[in-house]
Amino acid sequence: MTKITLPAGKLRPEVLDRLLRHTSLAPELIVGPAVGEDAAVIDYGDRYLVVTTDPITFTTERCGWYSVCINANDIAACGGTPRYYSAAIILPEGKTNLRDVENLFSEIEDACRQVGVLWVGGHTEVSCAVNTVLVAGQMIGEVASEDLCRSSGAQVGDALVLVKSAAIEATAIIATEKAREIEATCGTELAERTRNFLLDPGISVVREAALARGFPVHAMHDPTEGGLVTGIREICVASGCGVLVEENSVSVLPETEHLCRQFGLHPLGAISSGALLLTLAPEAASHLVYHYAEAGIPAVVIGEILRTEAGLQLRDETGNVAPLPMFEVDEITKLFS
């Protein structure tokens, strides 16, 4: 039998779903491992514990900051509050000096302080098993049972809301990995501004998720690897529904459009930490969008949740409706190929 090697990126949803069917279940496990769900939720008596794990694989610059933020995002997207962070840090042999480790620890400490979590432990070693820095973070948080929000809760007729913009994280990665090319073609000012996308508009959605509390949100999810459309797909797969996305309504910042065009990337398929997807009834969605605007945060309705048989659809800028694009591998990988 010929062995087929797997491509870079997440496992295909159908493969992951098959593998996860064999995982353990228990009465206290409120949300277990499932396609589209980024955190486990455990009944702990007076509250729920929320647990998530995510590695940083696309960049080594500021990877400590990335690790804290993306793990905190997974907790926040469940309606929870991130509390405790730990990390397994593997550093490449022959390429690591003490100053590198000091800088990485300083990044993690700074990020934990800003997000409001405690760095409680982990593991650090130098190893020949990796050729770049690998930070695999874990975050533990908590959520009241009435505030729990799942990716799988989308309902037919819901409005699909995008908070902030697509490919914020991708923009920061492009600006870091291709700094010289960007400075040569676009100038230092744009290069510096896009590198700072890590902080402004920022890849954290902890505040954005917290602002949705009190609204009747049915599903909430932070799109990461695979970009915005993969995040939408994950909601639909988890919820067993279809969707119609209005491409004209999707927010993509001008700097993101420029860099994606320069390096041949599709912004809707590029890693998108910093964005948040929510579904809720249309009238409630209007109130939520206004609530975000009052807080100075851009949010917009970008589509509608449909019945399963409607499929996953995208209406483009010309009004044509076609299947929602599928990105087998995150567009950002093109930078490294």
Per residue in 38-96, pLDDT tens?
A: 899 999 888 999 999 999 887 777 899 999 999 999 999 999 999 999 999 999 999 99
CA distance 302 to 307: 17
Q: How far apart are CA 200 and CA 193, in angstroms?
A: 9
**Quick one: CATH architecture of 151-335?**
Alpha-Beta Complex (3.90)
Judge contact between 54 and 46, C-beta under 8 A.
no
**Judging by DSSP bridges, how do beta strands 312-315 and 242-246 pair with one another?**
parallel
More confident residue, 295 or 14: 295
pLDDT class of 21 with cuts at 50, 70, 90: confident
196 CA to centre of own chain: 18
Full DSSP string of 260-294: HHHTT--GGGS--BTBEEEEE-HHHHHHHHHHHHH
| Domain range list for the chain | 13-18+25-147, 151-335
- State residue 337's pLDDT score: 77
Is the pLDDT reported for residue 1 higher than 70? no
pLDDT computed for residue 27 by the predictor: 85
CATH homologous superfamily of 13-18+25-147 equals: PurM-like, N-terminal domain (3.30.1330.10)
The per-residue pLDDT for range 149-194, each reduced to its tens digit, is: 999 999 999 999 999 999 999 999 999 999 999 999 989 999 999 9
**Sequence-ordered list of residues with C-beta below 8 angstroms from that of 254, at least 6 positions apart, any chain:** none
